[in-house]
Structure 1
Amino acid sequence: MEEPRVFNLDHPPIESLVQQHLAAWQARDVAAIAGTLHPEVEFIWPALHGQSRREARAVLETRLAEVQSLYLHLRRLLIDPAQRVAAVEWIGRYARSGEKDCQEILGGAVLDFDQEGLIYRWRTYLDPVRRRTLSGFDDPLPSEGWLPCPNPGPPPSPAQVQQIIQTYAQAWARHDLTQLNAAIHDEMIVQPPWDYVVGRAAIEAGARVYFANYTDTCVTPQRLILDPSQPHFGVCEQTFACTNPDTGRRGEDHDFAFFEIAQGKLRYWRTYFDTSRSAQVVEKTVGFLQSNRSHPK
């Protein structure tokens, strides 16, 4: 019997495994990508859910066969060694065979590793609204519209982070503006796929718009991914459900939220999710209602 490849996965080995996985993607090497996966890997991609390496490989062979060239930019990597998990925020650009222009997509991924360093759970989240057609791979990368706080204060403990995220989630669920204000920084930026809201006053206005237009909100943080080497940042996997009373539709989206905590408050919240599953509509966002279309490009 072969010995396990890795016995103790801490930060550097996980980072190396993530880079290996991304390099296989960049090379469009399906065999190499499959080699990073557990035989019974659970993969959850937009509109796809499978439970084996063989199934994942078949999907990748079909999809990558259509791609002539591919470029991946690693925007951010957080590694939580205690959970053997990596959260990746990325920009992807690809060109299909026979097409002159290329497409740009923004996304996040969560990769869970087993003790041998194989990915046994792989979930991908996209921002479908900010997809762009570009003239080439050399076009400037999109701006985030955010910079980390230069004076973030003492690093928060994991328990403090959990409390801040829970307070923020409960504020949306309870439609509680006072609780929301208690959780956020004066410089707070909220950036879901369809909006870009900066500052406490704008976020209050956005919350009022949301509270007036949606009911039965349920926000459930499911997991926090915290990197000890980057204590002011984290990723939250959560579900966000609500009902649109105008249509009667109830929707639930699964979110990848990268966040920053500065001076004990939430300062940045960037979410990726499938907007087609949400009951929310862009026409009922504060940015749309105020004709503020200043999304980062």
Structure 2
Amino acid sequence: MAEDFPFDALACAWQSGEPEQVASLCHPNATWIVDGRPYHGRAEISAWLRSIGVMPHRARILIRRAFRDLREPAWWAAEWALRTAADDGCWREVEQGVMLCFSAGQITHLRIHNDHRSVRKVAADAPLRDEAWPAFIPPRTRDMTYDEILAVHYRHVRQGWARGDAETVISCHAPESLIQTSFEVVRGHDQLRRAVRAYAENYADTVITVHRVVYSGDYLAIHQTWSCTNRKTGVRADDQDLNIGVMQDGRFWRWREYYDSTQSAQTLEQTVFGVKRADEN
């Protein structure tokens, strides 16, 4: 597999429709984790790929971006759209965040986080849908250190979101920043204040645990567990998040969250800016 860009080789093998070819890119004891569910070793990875219908001419992967960690270059992150065809010939697309470890020419660890609310019917060769991005992100002036990244992120989530402190949250964001969750897109400081207030009204006992950071200078990915209790339903859940975006000079500019919204304590109805898709009930 190409040392400089393992996602290309992975996408090519996946699109071949041969699960064993995909698994052959992995270390014999590799682990894949898909929306929190682990698959250990090549046999389990192949079986999972067959279970989701990986067959010749029935899968396409469109990579939006992929990047490599500056400190630990074995670690990579990417955003891509996975398209699969059913027996009736109809194609479906889901947007995914992906993180992997690539060492000695093999994938040793891979995690996939689906944005289940992004699923749509699509033509096999249709262009990617437009992304939510700020109108402008200035060039970075320097690379941030990992201590700086974690200090900003912990202030953002633990002192801000977890405590319902909107001013702390917005202090971690550029005025033109954007957050995209499975349920809503929040743009700018004013909307962010409203979103933080709504979160505090609806959720309690928030705990965030960071597991890994991948930072290329241009892009940032953080894998974390976000735990909270829904005040209205009483449901408590641990969301396995893969968040991908841009942080420059201590502030977030763009933040996209990938997590399994079907298993989350959070709901569309309890957001400020979330809207139902045309095909949702």
Q: Normalising by structure 1, what TM-score?
A: 0.85
Preserved CA contact (<8 Å) 2:100 2:111:
yes
Once structures 1 and 2 are overlaid, which stretch shifts more, 235-244 or 57-66? Answer: 57-66
| From 52, 61, 82, the counterpart of 1:63 | 52
Deviation at 1:76, TM superposition (A): 0.9
Residues 154-209 of structure 1, C-alpha deviations (whole Å, 9 max, x = no match):
12422322222222122112222221121111011110111111111001111111
1:92–1:235 Cα change, 3 Å: same
RMSD of equivalent CA atoms: 2.3
Deviation at 1:73, TM superposition (A): 0.5
State the partner residue of 2:132: 145
Alignment partner of 1:220 is 2:206: no
1:20–1:232 Cα change, 3 Å: closer
Aligned partners of 2:271, 2:140: CA distance in 1, in Å?
32
Q: How many correspondences in the alignment?
A: 275
Alignment partner of 1:121 is 2:115: no
State the partner residue of 1:45: 34
Bigger Rg, which one: 1
Query: What secondary structure sits across from 1:24 in the alignment?
Result: helix
1:245–1:130 Cα change, 3 Å: same
Alignment partner of 1:72 is 2:72: no
Identity of counterpart residues, as a percentage?
26
Alignment partner of 1:281 is 2:263: no
Aligned partners of 2:250, 2:260: CA distance in 1, in Å?
30
Aligned residue identity for 2:224: Q
Alignment partner of 1:85 is 2:75: yes
Deviation at 1:39, TM superposition (A): 0.8
Deviation at 1:68, TM superposition (A): 4.6
Deviation at 1:261, TM superposition (A): 1.8
Query: What secondary structure sits across from 1:140 in the alignment?
Result: coil
Preserved CA contact (<8 Å) 2:35 2:240:
no
Preserved CA contact (<8 Å) 2:170 2:192:
no
Q: Normalising by structure 2, what TM-score?
A: 0.90
Once structures 1 and 2 are overlaid, which stretch shifts more, 211-220 or 144-153? Answer: 144-153
Alignment partner of 1:161 is 2:114: no
Aligned partners of 1:259, 1:200: CA distance in 2, in Å?
17
Aligned partners of 1:277, 1:254: CA distance in 2, in Å?
10
Aligned residue identity for 1:85: W
Residues 49-97 of structure 1, C-alpha deviations (whole Å, 9 max, x = no match):
2221122122223433567522111001011154211111101112122
| Structure 1 segments (4+ residues) deviating >3 Å | 61-68, 147-150
Gaps of 5+ in 1: 6-11
Preserved CA contact (<8 Å) 2:167 2:193:
no
Gaps of 5+ in 2: none
| From 201, 216, 238, the counterpart of 1:252 | 238
Deviation at 1:149, TM superposition (A): 3.6
Aligned residue identity for 1:250: R
Aligned partners of 2:50, 2:238: CA distance in 1, in Å?
31
